[in-house]
Amino acid sequence: MPTPLGKDLTALEYLSADQIRLILDTAEPFKEVSERQIKKVPALRGKTIVNLFFEASTRTRISFEFAEKRLSADTVNVASTGSSVSKGETLVDTARNLEAMHIDMVVIRHHASGSAEFLGKRIRSSVINAGDGKHEHPTQGLLDILTLRDKFGKIEGLKVAICGDLLHSRVGRSNIHGLLKLGAEVAVCGPASLLPRDVESLGVTVIPHIEDAIQWADALNILRLQLERMTAGYIPSLREYNRVFGLTAARLDQAPKDLVIMHPGPMNRGVEIDSEVADGPHSVILPQVTNGVAVRMAVLYLLAGGAPDWAQGGGSE
């Protein structure tokens, strides 16, 4: 059955502005569900969802699981270790076997870019990308955008700087595509060794120095620096990274206005972001996590064929 989002959610690059707005609007009433005494609605009762996590994940996996359970879906978690994957089964065989047990959706986190799209083309169930390699992490992008919308009221005209390791960041790509579609201006800021080739072709501007990004932006999204980037030779040291590119309180003090500070987690305190900033008054890092559940509920609900108006009304079936 065609849904307003199509069969799968693999990348924000593939969505229209209207589809992104629909997800955000659908997420609004779902926020309230999580604040109830009984945190459950029957929207996905009888639906079976498999969470297929080939990479370690705490926040995203648990966020999806809460979203599924609060919508009354039946869920199964599969990790690569302790499953047939560790016996050499291919991704497509794993998924086809799961599908033979009549499932409705697969949420996949995988180390290979394109793996969610690959899977979506090969199985009938809906596929939701929970992070594919260095490509996209669309629900993270959506929850970041929802958090910005909560804060600023609208995305259009907003100046957002995404800072750090854009080269390896799926969060960065999803933010770029989603924000640009909704009319934001997006800049990227980080060492050139961690920016993708021709990154401007995505529609962003490059601001080489974080001091300049702070002057320019309304909001900063600070990406996690994977610690192995140092040993792989992309940067000389974590210490220097913090000194040159880290979001410190001293740098933030120079901002001409109050900036909103985001981080997708998990944070390396003292590397890309200082604790005073992460825990400070401008940080929306925990509201991001809260919004993650609502956005994922919206995505699951819409891909299961739920009508947008039901969610608006917040009623029962």
Partner 1 sequence: MSRPILLRGGRVIDPSRGSDGIADVLLQGGRIEAVGLNIIAPDGAQVVECAGKVVAPGLIDVHVHLREPGQEDLETVATGAMAAVAGGFTGICAMPNTDPVCDNQGVVGFVIAQAQRAAKARVFPIGAVSLGQKGQQLAEFGELVGAGAVAVSDDGKPVASSHLMRMALEYAKTFGIPVADHCEDPTLAAGGSMHEGIISTRLGLKGIPAAAEEIMVARDILLAELTGGHVHLCHMSTRGSVDLIRRAKDMGLKVTAEACPHHFALTHESCLGYNTNAKMNPPLREDLDREAIRQGLKDGTIDVIATDHAPHHYDAKEREFDDAPNGIIGLETAFGLAMSELVNTGLLSLPELLLRMSTTPARTFNLPGGTLATGAPGDVVVLDPAVQWVVKPDAFFSKSRNTPFAGRTLTGRADLTIVRGQVAFQRTS
Q: Binding residues for partner 1, per CB under 8 A?
A: 13, 90-92, 110, 112-115, 117-118, 132-136, 170, 173, 196-199, 201-202
Q: How far is the CB of 6 from partner 1 (least distance, A)?
A: 15
Residue 112 CB, nearest approach to partner 1 (Å): 4
Alpha-carbon distance of 313 to 208, in angstroms, equals 46
The residue (of 116 and 145) whose beta carbon lies closer to partner 1 is 116
Give the bridge partners for 247, in sequence order: 273
Of 203 and 313, CB closest to partner 1: 203
Q: Which is nearer to partner 1, 232 or 250 (CB)?
A: 232
Nearest-angstrom CA–CA distance, 219 and 107: 29
Q: Rounded CA gap, 204 and 82, in Å? A: 42
Strand 185-189 relative to strand 205-206, pairing: parallel
Please state the closest distance from residue 89 (CB atom) to partner 1, in A: 12
**Which residues are within 8 A (CB) of 189 and not within 5 positions of it... i.e. 6 or more apart?**
161, 162, 163, 164, 206, 207, 208, 209, 210, 212, 213, 245
Alpha-carbon distance of 199 to 130, in angstroms, equals 23
Output the smallest distance, CB 64 to partner 1, in A: 21
Nearer to partner 1, 70 or 170 (CB): 170
Contacts of 221 (CB under 8 A, 6+ apart): 144, 160, 161, 162, 163, 171, 172, 175, 262, 263, 264
- Of 6 and 114, nearer to partner 1 (C-beta) is 114
Q: How far apart are CA 83 and CA 79, in angstroms?
A: 7
CA distance 184 to 157: 5
CB of 304 to partner 1, least distance (A): 25
| Sequence-distant (≥ 6) Cβ neighbours of residue 254 within 8 angstroms | 211, 214, 215
Shorter beta-carbon distance to partner 1: residue 236 or 313: 236
Q: How far is the CB of 239 from partner 1 (least distance, A)?
A: 25
Percent of residues in the chain assigned helix, strand, coil, to nearest 5 = 45, 15, 40
Nearer to partner 1, 132 or 274 (CB): 132
If you search the block for the tokens 């944070």, which residue do you land on? Answer: 267
Shortest separation between residue 61's beta carbon and partner 1, angstroms: 20
Nearer to partner 1, 167 or 262 (CB): 167
By C-beta, is 25 or 55 nearer to partner 1?
A: 55
Residue 193 C-beta: closest distance to partner 1, Å? 13
Torsion region of 109: left, alpha or beta (phi above 0 gives left; psi -120 to 50 gives alpha): beta
Dig out the tokens for 15 from the structure. 């969505």
- The distance of closest approach from Cβ of residue 121 to partner 1 in the complex, given in angstroms and rounded to an integer, is 8
> Does residue 75 contact residue 21 with C-beta atoms inside 8 Å?
no
